[in-house]
Amino acid sequence: MARGRVSRLSVRDVRFPTSLGGHGSDAMHTDPDYSAAYVVIETDAEDGLKGYGITFTLGKGTEVDWSRERRGASGDGGRSQCGVGPVGQAGGKEEHMLTGGYPAYTTSCAWLGYSDDTLKQAGPGLNRRTHVFHRFKVKVGADVQDDVRRCRLIRDMIGPEKTLMMDANQRWDVPEAVEWMSKLAEFKPLWIEEPTSPDDILGHAAISKALVPLGIGVATGEQCHNRVIFKQLLQANALQFLQIDSCRLGSVNENLSVLLMAKKFGIPVCPHAGGVGLCELVQHLIIFDYISVSASLDNRMCEYVDHLHEHFKYPVRIQEASYMPPMDAGYSTEMKEESVKKHQYPDGEVWKKLLAAQKN
């Protein structure tokens, strides 16, 4: 294969107005526009190959990553990474992936900005997806009484046998997290995700210990940017579910080191995948984890949200609430050029109309 030097680097600020429908809203981010600094790298090898990378953001701040990557500094995920590639055809675990896939759960059922009517109808998709999805996550953390009401509504809709998780997006301090979850324990959540600051290792450990009698685990990791933080979380018994993020951790190699540590400590990996392209990227990591590291699906699942996949050239495939293996080589990062042009900020067609309407 011809090798060459980088001859061209383009970085574009791509933003999707998800805040208009409340998609992606949580206790810390009430009106996010799911966005990305989108990088394309070309070389002088003249082989037609390009490298694609994204740094996922919530809209505000994308220009910072855009500026960093234009200067050659990497953001949280602005790296062009190679994928695991298509899964092989031989072996028991590979065959299971090809036929059954990797278990997924949905977060699209309960963004915090959704009204009750949206929860009951199109937003959560519970009425049309309950026969498929068996695992659901609800955003909590803004108001405890409203959380109780919303969790009761969702639990009644999905029934007692389905799995429910909760996500506070770092909203609480340690005592508040324990008190809050004691009031939500009646809804039998499998875990509380990001109950406090992602950097507070000992805080997570204290929450984890306090919630044991309630049967509630702690899940965290989507904001952890290196393997050292994960090492400390594991050593401190601070989590029962480990959540890597394919953009936050620097490179595939860093992700693989965390998968190996999780295997050593016997902690299931349940990746975060809620943003632009995150489902597309992380599918490679979960399949590699199952086939080459953990060899287990016990207590393992990967997050899935059902928006923005239409903007990717190789979108993730979900069948019967499971990620199906990608059959194309690469890391599934390439976006459709038409989508990039329409959603480029602030000059794309979508944003020209929205910004003009805001001025009026």
Kindly list the catalytic residues: 139, 272
For 309-356, give the DSSP string.
Answer: GGGBSS--EEETTEEEPP-SSS-S-PBPHHHHHHHBTTTSHHHHHHHH
Kindly give the residue spans of alpha helices, DSSP state H, lying in 112-163.
Answer: 116-120, 126-129, 144-158
| Residue 93, helix vs strand vs coil | helix
Q: How far from 327 is each of 87, 97, 284, 310, CA to CA, in Å?
A: 7, 12, 11, 17
The token duo for 62 is: 């994308």
Calpha distance 56→278 (Å, rounded): 8
Report which of 134, 86, 160 is spatially closest to residue 320, judged by C-alpha positions.
134
Calpha distance 95→251 (Å, rounded): 27
The C-alpha torsion from 213 through 230 and 221 to 203, rounded to 10°, is 50
Calpha distance 225→223 (Å, rounded): 6
Report which of 132, 128, 125, 123 is spatially closest to residue 319, judged by C-alpha positions.
132
Detail the DSSP E strand segments found in 168-313.
189-193, 217-220, 241-242, 302-304
Calpha distance 222→240 (Å, rounded): 14
